[in-house]
Amino acid sequence: MNFELNDEQRMLSDSLSRFLADRYDFEKRKKYIATAEGFDRRIWQGYAEMGLFALPYPEDEGGIGGTPTETMLVAEAMGGAIAVEPWTEAIAIVPALLQAASSEQRAAIAEGIISGEAVPTWAHRETGMIERDEKMKTTARDGKLSGAKTVVSFGAEADVIFVSAVDDAGETGLYVVRKGAEGLEARGYRTQDEGRAAELTFDGTPAEKLEGGIPAAEAIAAAEARGLAASIGEALGIMEKAIELTVEYIKGREQFGRPIGTFQALQHIAAQAVVEKEQVKSMAMYAALMCDEGDAETRDLALSTAKVKMCDAARFVGQMSIQLHGGVGMTMEYSIGHYFKRLTMLEILWGDRDFHMDRLCEAGGLAA
Amino acid sequence: MELKFTPEEEAFRQEVRDFIDANLPDATRQHLKLGNAPTKEMTIEWQRTLNKKGWATPRWPAEWGGPGWTVTQQYIFQQENQRAPAPDPLGFGVNMVGPVIIQFGNEEQKKRFLPRIANIDDWWCQGFSEPGAGSDLASLKTRAEKDGDHWIVNGQKTWTTLAQHADWIFALVRTSNEGKKQEGISFLLIDMKSPGVEVHPIQTMDGGHEINSVFFTDVKVPAENMIGEVNKGWTYAKFLLGNERLGAPRVGASQAKLQELKEIAKNRIVRGRPLWDHPRFRDKFVEAQIELKALEMTVMRVLSGIESGADQSKPDPATSVIKIKGAQMVQRLTELYVEAAGEQSVPWLDDEGDNAQVGPDWTIRAAPNYFNMRKSSIYGGSDQVQKGIISKAILGL
């Protein structure tokens, strides 16, 4: 039992935080999200140069051999900057999906992602299908995909799209589609939290099937677990920053002739936010450590536990941050609202509270 | 980071479990399993059994009879002891005054008191709160005046847990009215058999007699019973409360209680089917499990920090989190027991005993335990005091 970070992990966290402080402050972020693609490829390249995209791959495949703990640290820092790019897909999801490929195929596909040239995304959810693939309608026939995927992060901008689909035998498979492929249509839009997403339709779209690794369904479940774990780390980073911004604000804001942070009613709300945030920190670590649990059900129940806790804390910390900022918290101009919006989206993504409560309740709760 | 315990730690857990299984009297286990507090005799008997094995004082240094365990081993022991369930070693001695004597006492005090604390030859109680000094503990008024080689103590302490059993009390007393109120407090050990000490019971709303008022009228206390320096008692008290907070969450006990609650719910038919199959109960059960898991992880984080030698001088927000969430957890479980017992929690067990027995044995303790555990967010620094600590020490508000 050990919850301490090692020196490399501390270094990773520090250097990414420095990079983001330097190149991703709130004003710069406004410029990035206003660009045509909704993010800055030079920042993406910066992530690649720091080795973020190589992090999750084994060392003998040109990677750094990082674990979900490293992913959690990256996510926490990204949350602090509310970085909008599909880094979760690149760092947490794609490496897990590529376990379904042979090592040669994996190396060929990962190369461009690790170098930062190709931005990947994950097209899995369909309308009416939340996190579960039994009702998946996208089909694969003769190496061609047909169907539709919904709310695909940067779906119109990404270069490599990982797609789940069922074949004629009813088997779930994983496929790679390149940007601009025949029959691929992307209807892109901005999201509440200032990222981008798209509705993708495939009509006989040529795709490369991932083959030679673990079964696709297992790879998908592992990927969803890692995405969820990363999102809890990201939520932690957002909550830390939201509390910091709020405390700073109530120290400076004067009413009735004194800083409003001297009022006990406000202090206790802020203190409760710290309590909730600390519980999320514990759960982010738990989620990261349970990602590699061999038994899929144990892993998924642990992750659901962490997610429910995160949802409750996110609701409280997000809402209190706006409340304590008062009127200015409502504005687009102040950063706090942007943290609140991203936090709210994270409650919903990777399975919402009800989904995870269902999963836990159906299983009769956690094993002792 | 690593969640799993090492094979050596798992072996240690098994050793603890085996020892408890082989030595814990069945009557004690059953008594506690039904939600009762241990009797004085049960606590003494079990602590002496542990002491013979060298396990009664898990956190003490080996020099003073501690087992020399790592923080993780201490945690495992505590968890197994609570899960059994077995009586906790008496916290007022082992976890409160003991560590204060070890840290701040002189050699003679250590030799005189520590072995008797370990073997519970002396039952200790805590004299901190007063009628006018609760959350604002430093405003306490019980005073000690020097008279030759004695202190003469006058005043009143309250909420004194199990003072009716106590041989000794460690008390915070006012020895100066100069300067800041925190700087005029001393830490004094008082023999409860001294003339002028009176114990008056306070009945709590659950019907129990756990707490007392303790009155001091011209009580003569030898000067050698003062711990450390005169007027430095507040420092020792803060050290003691920090220790108290870490032990507060009782994760092992809550885990056992939840497991038991699941069995209860499976066997209890409500509106035609097992309570366990009612979705609203299942939600509440799972939510309690989620809270407990988060609490367990936070406790482990703090222990891991201590074990790795993290800087202990800076306030760790996690310890106040543990106090607040630990109290809520215990309270939540008692609520769920009342809900599970339903109308069978209505009868009040009085001296007539059997008349009140309408449900399974555990139902009789459900409501009293719920009423009683409201205390846990009040003692040891209330939730509001903890939030005050967080907002000042962590947030700088």
pLDDT tens per residue, range A247-305:
999 999 999 999 999 999 999 999 999 999 999 999 999 999 999 999 999 999 999 99
pLDDT of res. A212: 98
Q: What is the pLDDT of residue B108?
A: 98
Question: Which residues partner with A205 through β-bridges?
Answer: A145
Q: Which of B301, B321, B397 sits opposite A270 (nearest CB)?
A: B397
- H helix or E strand, kind and range, residue B363: helix B363-372
How, if at all, do strands B143-147 and B150-157 pair? antiparallel
**Considering only CA atoms, which of A2, A124, A76 is closest in space to residue A230?**
A76
CA distance A226 to A228: 5
| Chosen domain end from B231, B262, B287 | B231
Give mean pLDDT, residues B330-345.
96
Residue A336 lies in a domain: yes
Contact A286 B3 (CB under 8 A): yes
CATH of the domain at A104: 1.10.540.10
**Chain A residues 101-160 with a CB less than 8 Å from chain B:** none
Put simply, the answer to whether B301 touches A357 (Cβ < 8 Å) is no
Please answer yes or no on whether A274 and B317 come within 8 Å at the CB atom: yes
- Predicted complex ipTM: 0.94
Residues A105 and A124 in one domain: no
| Contact: B304, A365; criterion CB under 8 Å | no
3-class secondary structure, A254: strand
Question: Which residues of chain A does B387 touch, with a Cβ-Cβ cutoff of 8 Å?
Answer: 267-268, 271-272
- B334 domain residue, yes or no: yes
B67-80 pLDDT, tens digit each: 999 989 999 999 99
Q: How far is A281 from chain B (nearest CA, A)?
A: 8
Q: Which amino acid is at B370?
A: Y
Residues of B within 8 A of A365 (CB-CB) are: 262, 282, 285-286, 289
> Residues 114..153 of B with a Cβ closer than 8 Å to A: which?
none
User: Any residues with CB less than 8 A from the CB of A90 and at least 6 apart, and which?
Assistant: A47, A52, A53, A113, A119, A120
A328 in B contact zone (CB under 8 Å): no
With 90 as the cut, is the pLDDT of residue A324 above it? yes
Element (H, E) at B43: helix B40-53
A130 falls in which pLDDT band (50, 70, 90)?
low
Q: Does A97 lie in the same domain as A125?
A: no
- Structure tokens of A139? 């089909």
Domain annotation covers residue A368: no
pLDDT the model gives residue B157: 98
Based on the fold, state whether residues B390 and B273 are members of the same structural domain. Answer: yes
- Please check whether residues B218 and B356 belong to one and the same domain: no
Q: Which pair of tokens denotes residue B390?
A: 């967080």
Q: Are residues B34 and B134 in the same domain?
A: no
What residue of A is the nearest CA neighbor of B1?
Answer: A3
A266: CATH: 1.20.140.10
Q: Before A206, cis peptide (omega within 30)?
A: no
Which of A306, A64, A105, A86 is closest to A193 using CA atoms?
A86
CA dihedral A350, A355, A361, A366 (to 10 degrees): 10
Question: pLDDT at residue B66 above 70?
Answer: yes
Q: Does B8 touch chain A (CB under 8 A)?
A: no
In this structure, are A154 and A248 located in the same domain?
A: no
What residue has token string 């390149």?
A178
Nearest-CB residue to A279 (from B276, B298, B390) = B298
Contact present, B137 and B187 (Cβ < 8 Å): no
Local structure of residue B162 (DSSP, 8 states):
T
Q: Mind telling me how many Å the CA of B299 is from chain A's nearest CA?
A: 9
Same domain, A345 and A302: yes
Residues A88 and A130 in one domain: no
Distance, in Å, from the CA atom of A302 to the CA atom of A224, rounded to the nearest integer, reads 13
Q: Is the pLDDT of residue B312 over 50?
A: yes
Domain assignment present for residue B191? The answer is yes
Q: Rounded distance, CA A306 to CA B239, Å?
A: 33
B391 touches chain A (CB under 8 A): yes
pLDDT of the residue at A133: 47
Residue B74 in any domain: the answer is yes
Q: What is the mean pLDDT of residues A148-154?
A: 97
Contact B96, B189 (CB under 8 A): no
Reported in sequence order, the residue ranges of A106-264 that DSSP labels E, i.e. its strands, are: 120-123, 139-141, 144-153, 160-167, 172-178, 184-190, 196-206, 208-209, 254-255, 258-259
**Enclosing domain of residue A12:** 7-114
Q: Mean pLDDT score of chain B, rounded to an integer?
A: 94
The string of pLDDT tens digits covering residues A190-244 is 999 999 999 999 999 999 999 999 999 999 999 999 999 999 999 999 999 999 9
Interface size A-B, in CB pairs within 8 Å, comes to: 129
Chain B residues within an 8 Å CB radius of A360 = 286, 289-290
Contact between B395 and A366 using a beta-carbon 8 Å cutoff: no
Query: Is the Cα dihedral B52, B58, B62, B63 positive or negative?
Result: negative
What's phi and psi for B325, nearest 5 deg?
A: -70, -35
SS3 content of chain A, % helix, strand, coil (to 5): 55, 15, 30
The answer to the question of residue A1 being in a domain is: no
> Could you tell me the CA-to-CA distances from B265 to A209, A257, B270, B363, B364 in Å, in that order?
48, 56, 9, 12, 16
Q: Report pLDDT digits (tens) over A286-301.
A: 999 999 999 999 999 9
B319 — pLDDT class (breaks 50, 70, 90): confident
Q: According to the model, what pLDDT value does residue A367 have?
A: 82
Tell me how many domains chain A contains: 3
pLDDT exceeds 90 at position A103: yes
Task: Give the percent of chain B with pLDDT over 90.
Answer: 85
State the residue range of the domain holding B31.
7-89
How close B23 comes to chain A (CA, Å)? 24
Check CB contact of B1 with chain A, cutoff 8 Å.
yes
Mean pLDDT of A152-167: 97
Q: CB contact, 8 Å: A248 with chain B? A: no
Express as a percent the part of chain B with pLDDT over 70: 97
pLDDT at site A134: 57
- What residues in A contact B9, CB-CB < 8 Å? 1
Q: Do B396 and A4 touch (CB under 8 A)?
A: no
A271–B388 CB contact, under 8 Å:
yes
Same domain, B69 and B177: no
Q: Rounded mean pLDDT of B129-149?
A: 96
Of A81, A114, A147, the position where a domain reaches its end is A114
Q: Are residues A108 and A148 in the same domain?
A: no
Q: Is A289 in Cβ contact with B3 (below 8 Å)? A: yes
Q: Residue A191: which CATH number? A: 2.40.110.10
Structural domain ending residue among the three candidates A114, A146, A179: A114
Which residue of chain A comes nearest to B263, CA vs CA?
A364
- Rounded CA-CA distance A274/A269 in Å is 9
A15 touches chain B (CB under 8 A): no
Find the largest Cα–Cα distance for chain B: 75
Q: Is the pLDDT of residue B278 over 80?
A: yes
Facing residue for B1 by CB, picked from A4, A250, A305 = A4
According to DSSP, the residues that pair with B216 across neighbouring strands are: B155, B197
The amino acid at residue B251 is V
Q: What is the mean pLDDT of residues B296-303?
A: 92
CA gap A116, B256 in Å, rounded: 50
Q: Is the Cβ of A309 closer than 8 Å to some Cβ of chain B?
A: yes
Q: State whether B283 and B384 are in the same domain.
A: yes
Choose among A3, A274, A305: nearest Cβ to B394: A274
The conformation of residue B393, written as its DSSP 8-state character, comes to I
Nearest to B58 by CA among B113, B16, B121, B25: B16
DSSP SS3 for B250: coil
> Do the Cβ atoms of B303 and A368 come within 8 Å?
no
Q: What is the dihedral of CA B368, B369, B372, B376, to 10 degrees?
A: -170
Q: Note whether B2 contacts A: Cβ–Cβ < 8 A.
A: yes
Which one of A70, A250, A282 makes the best mutation probe of the B interface by having the most chain B beta carbons within 10 Å? A282
Query: Residue A265: CB partners within 8 Å, gap ≥ 6?
Result: none
Q: Is the dihedral of CA B29, B32, B34, B40 positive or negative?
A: positive
Confidence of residue B200 (pLDDT cuts 50, 70, 90): very high
Last residue of a domain, one of A114, A148, A182: A114
What does each C-alpha distance from B217 to A19, B130, B153, B261 come to in angstroms?
67, 15, 7, 48
